[in-house]
């Protein structure tokens, strides 16, 4: 009898290979702001599997590169940054930030770095802002390594800005979908840019010479749906003085974009399904007409599951290809480039280009802009790219001679629930005895962040205390062999394996997703 290989599928090495996106993990630094705005968006990265485990971060190193062009730039080259500012050390436990004595001012997530700081994989995968000197803002993150340029690098210039892996993948998906004539369902949160993705898909397809017809499905009255979608003959109903083309006919030989398709009234869904299946429409009061078009639908609504009144048949008909536009919080390294773009766009409309950051700015002005970009980087952007664009416009409206963040915007960002408490509001770990610490760590399922919040201490103090207690550890400290045995014993159940190992379930998931140890 051939032994079962079912449990082998739970091994980290196998799990890591299930998705190409997790094939290689890298630590990256992306320029969110620089005194020379043309350098915003440049990045440096090092694969976690690399032999070198230490990075000296300073004025001249490392070298940054603009992707996907591959244009190699020099180091940060800002005279206010020390030649040696920070040392970044990679290990199985995470990343250690060490500030050199007498180095320039350095801030992590808006807080001054005054002692060694340890960051775990979970923090690094979310990403953190890092400020050096007065005028340089970086985004530090652990994630998939950047790949080669997308199949059509020019696609990135159509409407989708950003050099992150997230945007790189999105452009690749759009380029591949554009090579087919299949219908596409674009999903994503509100404000992520789903229509921009649809436009990019249309413009890069063989139908780019044809019309692009957008419709808001939520705004179509049920009583007029047939006439608006499929057209009407002269005299078909009261007031129909002449024949009119419906949206389907208007999009003939082009692309029909069904925006907010998840809000399509229930009675309209069967009509839509029939037209999509047959590529024929019944003109109100007229004949059946054939149409040649591609359909792209977009929604931020859930189309599956209990309580959903969206037709399953229609949902599957629309989703021959599915593309998900990521939320901005999933690619915060693009915030610098996006913010600069929106500022320039708004300034041109408002005739206030003088306010924009420039390589000719003095030190104070550059420092002000750096603080703005750092503030924006730490915000969670629930309204995504649309909210960022609105904030850029509000910023310029509130500024006269110098950049100024509107009070309501500043308050919203400072109160953002995603922000961690400042060091000044935390109590010292010395006030927490070993018994209290152990009880809190175990009761909060070995989660560092949850334990820190419960005890009112910093994450760094949690890490330091863990080093003093041999029988408590992080998920990153579990050996590969022990992890494999725990997963096999738990029959692949990650949560059960975490309980058996007495480590964080979230931390273990991060470990498995990355496919490797730092």
Q: Are residues 200 and 263 in the same domain?
A: yes
User: Degrees (nearest 5) of the Cα angle 474, 477, 483?
Assistant: 100
- Parallel, antiparallel, or unpaired for β 288-290 and 280-282? antiparallel
Is 200 inside any structural domain? yes
Region of 246 (left: φ > 0; alpha: ψ -120 to 50; beta: rest) is beta
Structural contact between residues 135 and 334, judged by C-beta atoms closer than 8 angstroms: no
CA distance 115 to 392: 34
The answer on pLDDT for 20 being more than 60 is: no
> How many domains does the structure of the chain reveal?
2
User: How much is the pLDDT for 187?
Assistant: 96
Strands of 34-178, DSSP E: 43-47, 54-57, 65-66, 71-72, 86-91, 94-99, 106-108, 111-112, 117-119, 128-132, 136-144
Structural domain ending residue among the three candidates 285, 319, 353: 319
Q: Are residues 140 and 188 in the same domain?
A: no
Query: Sorting pLDDT into bands at 50, 70 and 90, what band is 506?
Result: confident
Structural contact between residues 85 and 132, judged by C-beta atoms closer than 8 angstroms: yes
Tokens of 381: 């952007």
Query: Sorting pLDDT into bands at 50, 70 and 90, what band is 287?
Result: confident
Q: Are residues 54 and 102 in the same domain?
A: yes
Q: Are residues 87 and 210 in the same domain?
A: no
CA dist 410 to 109, 261, 366, 414, Å? 16, 35, 19, 6
Is 25 inside any structural domain? yes
CA distance 260 to 440: 46
Structural contact between residues 270 and 225, judged by C-beta atoms closer than 8 angstroms: no
Q: Are residues 97 and 206 in the same domain?
A: no
Structural domain ending residue among the three candidates 270, 301, 319: 319
Q: Percentage of the chain with pLDDT > 90?
A: 54
User: How much is the pLDDT for 70?
Assistant: 64
CA distance 506 to 480: 17
**188-216 burial code (b ≥16 CB/10 A, e <16):** bbebbbbbbbbbbbbbbbebeebebbbbe
Q: Are residues 23 and 78 in the same domain?
A: yes
Q: What is the CATH number of the domain that holds 25?
A: 2.60.200.20
Q: Are residues 253 and 191 in the same domain?
A: yes
List, in sequence order, the alpha helices (H) in 8-64. 12-15
Average pLDDT over residues 32-39: 96
DSSP lists the bridge partners of residue 28 as 45, 141
Is 494 inside any structural domain? no
Structural contact between residues 135 and 37, judged by C-beta atoms closer than 8 angstroms: no
Range of lowest pLDDT (38-52, 99-113, 172-186, 233-247): 233-247
pLDDT tens column, 317-334: 999 999 999 999 999 999
The answer on pLDDT for 11 being more than 80 is: no
Q: Are residues 217 and 132 in the same domain?
A: no
- Parallel, antiparallel, or unpaired for β 111-112 and 117-119? unpaired
User: Cβ–Cβ contacts within 10 Å for residue 435, how many?
Assistant: 8
Contacts of 61 (CB under 8 A, 6+ apart): 75
Biggest distance spanned by C-alpha atoms of the chain: 85
Is 447 inside any structural domain? no
Structural domain ending residue among the three candidates 95, 122, 144: 144
Element spanning 257, H or E: strand 254-259
CA distance 480 to 476: 10
Q: Are residues 192 and 268 in the same domain?
A: yes
Is 248 inside any structural domain? yes
Q: What is the CATH number of the domain that holds 220?
A: 3.40.50.300
Is 326 inside any structural domain? no
User: How much is the pLDDT for 434?
Assistant: 83
User: Domain of 21?
Assistant: 14-144
More confident call, 225 vs 255? 255
Is 203 inside any structural domain? yes
Q: Are residues 312 and 187 in the same domain?
A: yes
Give the residue carrying structure tokens 């990045």: 43
Tokens of 242: 């002449």
Is 35 inside any structural domain? yes
């Amino acid at each position: 009898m051939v032994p079962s290989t079912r449990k082998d599928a739970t091994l980290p090495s196998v799990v890591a290979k299930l998705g190409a996106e997790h094939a290689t993990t890298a630590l990256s630094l992306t320029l969110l702001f620089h005194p020379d705005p043309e350098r915003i968006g440049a990045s440096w990265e090092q694969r976690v599997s690399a032999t070198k485990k230490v990075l000296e971060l300073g004025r001249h190193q490392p070298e940054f590169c603009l992707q996907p062009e591959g244009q190699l730039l020099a180091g940060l080259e800002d005279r206010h940054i020390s030649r040696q500012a920070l040392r970044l050390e990679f290990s199985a436990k995470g990343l250690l930030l060490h500030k050199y004595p007498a180095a320039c001012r350095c801030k992590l997530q808006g807080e001054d770095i005054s002692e060694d700081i340890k960051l775990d994989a979970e923090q690094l995968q979310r990403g953190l802002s890092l400020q050096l000197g007065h005028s340089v803002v970086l985004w530090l993150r652990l994630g998939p390594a950047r790949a080669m340029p997308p199949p059509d690098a020019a696609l990135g210039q159509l409407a989708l800005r950003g050099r992150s892996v997230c945007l790189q993948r999105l452009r690749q998906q759009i380029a591949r979908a554009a090579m087919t004539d299949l219908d596409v369902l674009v999903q994503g949160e509100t404000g992520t840019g789903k229509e921009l993705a649809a436009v990019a898909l249309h413009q890069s397809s063989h139908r780019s010479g044809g019309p692009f017809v957008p419709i808001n499905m939520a705004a179509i009255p049920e009583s007029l749906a047939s006439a608006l979608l499929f057209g009407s003959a002269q005299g078909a109903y009261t007031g129909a003085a002449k024949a009119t083309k419906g949206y389907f006919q208007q999009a003939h030989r082009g692309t029909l974009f069904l925006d907010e398709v998840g809000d399509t009234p229930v009675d309209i869904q069967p009509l839509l399904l029939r037209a999509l299946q047959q590529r024929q429409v019944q003109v109100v009061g007229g004949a059946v007409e054939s149409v040649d078009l591609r359909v792209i639908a977009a929604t931020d609504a859930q189309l599956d599951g209990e309580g959903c009144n969206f037709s399953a048949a229609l949902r599957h008909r629309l989703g021959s290809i599915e593309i998900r536009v990521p939320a901005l919080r999933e690619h915060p390294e693009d915030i610098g480039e996006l913010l600069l773009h929106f500022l320039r766009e708004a300034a041109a409309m408002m005739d206030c280009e003088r306010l924009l950051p420039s390589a000719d700015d003095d030190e104070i002005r550059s420092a002000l802009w750096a603080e703005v970009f750092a503030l924006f980087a730490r915000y969670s952007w629930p309204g995504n790219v649309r909210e960022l664009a609105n904030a850029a416009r509000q910023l310029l409206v509130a500024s006269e001679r110098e950049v100024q963040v509107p009070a309501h915007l500043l308050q919203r960002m400072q109160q953002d629930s995603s922000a961690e408490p400042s060091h000044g509001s935390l109590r010292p770990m010395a006030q927490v005895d070993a018994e209290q610490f152990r009880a809190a760590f175990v009761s909060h399922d070995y989660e560092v962040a949850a334990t820190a919040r419960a005890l009112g201490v910093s994450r760094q103090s949690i890490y330091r205390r863990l080093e003093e207690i041999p029988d408590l550890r992080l998920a990153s400290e579990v050996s590969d062999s022990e992890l494999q045995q725990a997963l096999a014993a738990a029959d692949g159940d990650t949560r059960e394996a975490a309980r058996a190992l007495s480590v964080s379930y979230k931390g273990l998931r991060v470990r498995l997703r990355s496919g490797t140890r730092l």
